[in-house]
Structure 1
Amino acid sequence: MKTKTLIRTLVIMTIIMVATSFYYLPFYVTKPGGAHELDPIVEVKNGYEDEGELMLTTVRMGRANIYAYLMASLKKYEYIFPVEEIRSPHESDEEYNLRQLHLMADSQNHAIEVAFKKAGKFYEYTYKGIYVLNIYPSMPAEEVLMPGDRITAVDGNTFQSSEEFIEYVSKKKSGDSVKITYVRDKEEMVETISLEAFPDMPDKVGLGITLSDDKEIKTDPPVKLDTEEIGGPSAGLMFSLEIYNQLTKDDITKGHSIAGTGTISENGEVGRIGGIEQKVIAADKAGAEYFLAPHENITKEMKEKYPELESNYTAAKRTAEDIGTDMKVIPVKSFDEALAFLQTLAK
């Protein structure tokens, strides 16, 4: 009888544990991810080989169930964030993932542009339209458009930037309609959508979408990046360095293992990213000798508003000291600064 009771109790407990593991709390948990060599990810046609390796670093992130929440509460470099600190207002999980993938695409374009410009190689952009990132609830676009749609024309007019699109729509008033030409799953469609004032911004009239430019970059030689499901813009700096290294004869790695992170703008500025401490840990576990960290300027105004705010480099250096790594953390503010450091390395 006792054996049967024990078995029944264990079965019930197992069912409860399985059931609760699928119940997600309104939080995200982040933890150290991995460091990925860029050679298999980035391919410049007929590009030069390197003796060392450049690596991008990632953070693992997911919605928290009760067990993930409790584990993160106990571990030093696992962090818990409320959903509203990760996703934009009115943004679903699907829209968040799409936004991250689009940010990755933009990051790749910027990285290619910076590298090709520095190497003196040919590149050009083709404008493809307006990329729909999010749909505001209860706005007219909700009935027609979906995240991931690409708007190619409005009332028959094509645009060369999202700014031109916004300027055109802003001249309309509530109750007006526009004819939207858009592409979904390679199929072109045309629908008429009315314009309304935003519920939380009554002075602003629109369709109810968050948008971004959708551009394609063409280069000579061609570049292929196999990023699969890696999202977000934080690999921009390392992409640009890898592309440049394959474009030029001199190997900037000089046989060293170099990890890093940071966004990259069209003009080569390196920007702040999230999860810097966790990326330092990922790079250390992968055996990196150097870690390139954004050293963005923290203005007086920013410090007054967020007294505890510090640069990525400051946080990365502190983390490296805390975990006792021999890996050197290098502050960088631009692509040129990162390249200048790498050129000082001995073979």
Structure 2
Amino acid sequence: MRNKRKGAIRAFVIGIIIAMAISYIKLPYYVTKPGNASALEPIIKVDGGYDSAGSFSLTTVSIGRASILGYLAAQFDEYAEILPMNQVKAPEESDEEYLNRQLKLMEGSQESALILAYHKAGKEVTSKFNGVYVNSLIKGMPAAKSLKAGDRVYEVDGKALKSSEEFVSYVEKKKEGDQVSITFERRGSKRTVTVAIAKFPESLTKGGQSRAGIGITLMTDREVTVNPDIKLDTEDIGGPSAGLMMSLEIYDQLTKEDYTRGYQIAGTGTIAETGEVGPIGGISQKIVAADKSGAEIFFAPSENGKKGSNYEEAVKTAKDIKTKMKIVPVDRFSDAVNYLDQLKVK
């Protein structure tokens, strides 16, 4: 009898250990899932700004390190995605460094949204440009041989840069085997190097899509001053994907006309101060999040009609989940405004 009791206790303890291992041991993967759609009006306040009957919302993706249990559960969740660590974080990048990089990306996106919205609304906006800085590099890619984190990049192929988005937009048009000339400053010394465009390692590409570049992330350093004043409570939001929706919310508060037309409007996409809307990751998950929030319209980056664009994926997901939400393609800030201009008041 005593041996049976000991055996039962031993089995119970082993069971607890296994359960803890399944729940808490972290695997070298991240799991992403649909997040939330959050109205921007509560976190963006223009001094003396106009109210709207509807709302503009940013959409998020939930992300976390995969436990054994989480990894297994994600296998059966159509809208969960399992990503190797090196598709999320740069090699040897700590969690703190990753978080800081995401917050810096949000800061740059916020500044672009401010400049664009205030300019379009005919309001006072000035910016002091301090340079485009190297944020991180991908080990094994061409840029890692010549550049270092902290270098100030200010020209590509002789073209002066005013934002990191300009650099990305320029390099994205290149193909494998091309070369770009990069002029940068390090410790007060000006240098120019030639860097080849190369394919990213397969481990760093999502969905098997072939991508090429130089293996660098940049951040724009500038100070933006506006009138009327504005308060933005975005400290807990990371990444650049809320840029388009922030610019629409700011513009809406600055102008007497109610651009929401009474609708619940969600969307995603990076924004450049010149108005270009860029693609983002996790578009399907953001469609699910927006639909659950009750959004009626969703703006998705069209990528100039590129096959497999964010917009195409968004339309497919919308059909799959049988949402009534209208998916609207946008390449520029003006595309979204023009669509809203023609929208009947709800």
Tell me the equivalent position of 2:37: 35
Per-residue deviation, 1:333: 1.4
Tell me the equivalent position of 1:332: 330
Q: 2:256 aligns to what SS in structure 1?
A: coil
Classify 1:226/1:121 alpha carbon distance in 2 versus 1 (closer, same or farther; 3 Å). same
Q: Which amino acid aligns with 1:111?
A: A
Per-residue deviation, 1:132: 6.0
Per-residue deviation, 1:298: 5.2
Q: Which amino acid aligns with 1:346?
A: V
Say whether residues 1:239 and 2:238 are aligned partners.
no
Classify 1:133/1:337 alpha carbon distance in 2 versus 1 (closer, same or farther; 3 Å). same
Classify 1:129/1:267 alpha carbon distance in 2 versus 1 (closer, same or farther; 3 Å). closer
Classify 1:236/1:210 alpha carbon distance in 2 versus 1 (closer, same or farther; 3 Å). closer
Tell me the equivalent position of 2:293: 286
C-alpha separation between the residues in 2 aligned to 1:214 and 1:133? 11
Per-residue deviation, 1:81: 1.2
Per-residue deviation, 1:179: 5.2
Alpha carbons 1:53, 1:255 under 8 Å: kept: yes
Alpha carbons 2:103, 2:235 under 8 Å: kept: no
Classify 1:135/1:76 alpha carbon distance in 2 versus 1 (closer, same or farther; 3 Å). closer
Matching of residues 167-246 of structure 1 within 5 Å: 167=183, 169=185, 212-246=219-253
Tell me the equivalent position of 1:345: 344
Alpha carbons 1:98, 1:133 under 8 Å: kept: no
Alpha carbons 2:105, 2:219 under 8 Å: kept: no
Say whether residues 1:319 and 2:317 are aligned partners.
yes
Tell me the equivalent position of 1:261: 268
2:113 corresponds, among 101, 111, 122, to 111
Per-residue deviation, 1:22: 3.4
1:59 corresponds, among 58, 61, 64, to 61
Tell me the equivalent position of 2:46: 44
C-alpha separation between the residues in 1 aligned to 2:253 and 2:17? 53
Q: 2:249 aligns to what SS in structure 1?
A: helix
C-alpha separation between the residues in 2 aligned to 1:211 and 1:59? 22
Per-residue deviation, 1:133: 2.6
Per-residue deviation, 1:263: 0.8
Calculate percent identity across the aligned residue pairs. 51
C-alpha separation between the residues in 2 aligned to 1:210 and 1:332? 24
Q: Which amino acid aligns with 1:25?
A: L
C-alpha separation between the residues in 2 aligned to 1:3 and 1:285? 50
C-alpha separation between the residues in 2 aligned to 1:7 and 1:227? 51
Residues 69-105 of structure 1: per-residue CA shift (max 9 Å, x gap): 1111111110111122222344333322221111111
Residues 7-54 of structure 1: per-residue CA shift (max 9 Å, x gap): 542333223332453332221111000000111111111111111111
Classify 1:345/1:150 alpha carbon distance in 2 versus 1 (closer, same or farther; 3 Å). farther
C-alpha separation between the residues in 2 aligned to 1:330 and 1:7? 60
Q: 1:74 aligns to what SS in structure 2?
A: coil
Tell me the equivalent position of 1:175: none
Residues 117-152 of structure 1: per-residue CA shift (max 9 Å, x gap): 110001111245665633889xxxxxxxx98x899x
Higher mean displacement: 95-104 or 238-247: 95-104
Aligned length: 297
Matching of residues 113-132 of structure 1 within 5 Å: 113-128=115-130
Classify 1:18/1:224 alpha carbon distance in 2 versus 1 (closer, same or farther; 3 Å). same
TM-score (norm 2): 0.75
Per-residue deviation, 1:61: 0.9
RMSD, matched Cα = 3.6
Higher mean displacement: 264-273 or 10-19: 10-19
Classify 1:168/1:134 alpha carbon distance in 2 versus 1 (closer, same or farther; 3 Å). closer
Residues 219-242 of structure 1: per-residue CA shift (max 9 Å, x gap): 001122111321111101100000
C-alpha separation between the residues in 1 aligned to 2:95 and 2:297? 35
1:17 corresponds, among 11, 16, 19, to 19
C-alpha separation between the residues in 2 aligned to 1:18 and 1:253? 48
List alignment gaps of at least 5 residues for structure 2.
Answer: 140-147, 153-160, 168-181, 189-194, 196-215
Tell me the equivalent position of 2:86: 84
